[in-house]
Structure 1
Amino acid sequence: METMIVNIIDYTPAHQAAFEALNSAWIEKYFYLEPIDKEVLRNPEEHIYAHGGVIIMAEIDKQSVGTVALKRVDDHVFEMTKMAVDEKYQGHHIGWQLGQAVLQKAKEMNAQKVILYSNRKLAPAISMYHKLGFVEVELEKGLYVRSDIKMEITI
């Protein structure tokens, strides 16, 4: 397998179309885009950054191939959300690099805990979250339609 140089960079408004496309692709493959998904993907500055969150991007040869966001829940808790890797680039540990980078960002932002919501049908993602150190915790009812698992990691 050829070695790909993956650059993990901070999101800029120029990345919005890639952020939306990468996430829309996987969500529509396994589920459907809920109104809140469309709103967050179209307006990440308003829904992520305005509340003290961040987004990072994975690029290969200046092409966006992956992304993940940290959404602030409160002063010490962030939600890891909107993680996506272009299907053509899956299997190259890009999700792992994004996961490690976003947890490092959480540390730099003085997070004490990072949570995430997912679905068990996304088995490779769940496995990666476990390897990153996340553990399953009780899921609140009715928060997200497609979520059937909540995980967290203490930073």
Structure 2
Amino acid sequence: MVTPGEIDIRRNDVSALPRFAALNAQWIEQLHHMEESDRLMVARPQIYIENGSHVFSAHIAGVVAGVVALKRHEQGKYELTKMAVDEQFRGQGIGQILMTAVEDFARNGLNLDSIFLLSNTKNAAALRLYARNGWTVNHEGPHPVYARANIGMEKIL
């Protein structure tokens, strides 16, 4: 198990963007299929640090072990999206550390009252992480835009 002191959390580190894309493409292909927005993420991961959006990356001994994005939408709403932890680092609390970093930044850096996410009930480990962190379900069933999204959650900050 890694300790928080061994993990360097960075925001909008351009050098981490290729790994951001690769880690996300890997889990998406394992559990689902790549959608148009996923192909765009792989082709142009920098869009996740433009227009008020942010990518957080967890670095351990120079390796990007996990990533997550906080994507800005219209009307100033933000979505927690594209969270992935490298298989060799799973089960070590990296997802929790990234979640805490995003929530703290949303609350204290952006002064947000809430953030939302879209997921799939196949992603059991992710749903457990969200529930442990106080996220509540606000939508179940098919999503009008994303084929794989069948659950929506919100976190009041």
More moved, 72-81 vs 93-102: 72-81
Alignment-mate amino acid for residue 22 of structure 2: A
More moved, 131-140 vs 81-90: 131-140
Task: Give the TM-score of the pair, scaled to structure 1.
Answer: 0.91
> What secondary structure sits across from 2:117 in the alignment?
strand
Compute the displacement of 1:16 (Å): 1.8
User: 1:1-155 counterparts in 2 under 5 A?
Assistant: 5-46=6-47, 48-107=48-107, 108-139=109-140, 141-155=143-157
Aligned length: 154
> What secondary structure sits across from 1:143 in the alignment?
coil
> Using the alignment, how far apart are the partners of 1:111 and 1:76 within structure 2?
9
Q: Residues 142 and 13 of structure 1: is their aligned pair in 2 closer, same or farther, counting only changes over 3 Å?
A: same
Q: Residues 13 and 91 of structure 1: is their aligned pair in 2 closer, same or farther, counting only changes over 3 Å?
A: same
> Using the alignment, how far apart are the partners of 2:83 and 2:56 within structure 1?
10
User: Please, which runs of 5 or more residues in structure 2 have no aligned partner?
Assistant: none
Asked whether the 8 Å contact 1:79–1:116 carries over to 2, the reply is yes
Q: Residues 154 and 2 of structure 1: is their aligned pair in 2 closer, same or farther, counting only changes over 3 Å?
A: closer
Compute the displacement of 1:133 (Å): 1.2
- Give the CA RMSD over aligned residues: 1.7
Asked whether the 8 Å contact 2:21–2:45 carries over to 1, the reply is no
> What secondary structure sits across from 1:138 in the alignment?
strand
> What secondary structure sits across from 2:116 in the alignment?
strand
Percentage of pairs with the same residue: 33
Compute the displacement of 1:40 (Å): 2.1
> What secondary structure sits across from 2:125 in the alignment?
helix
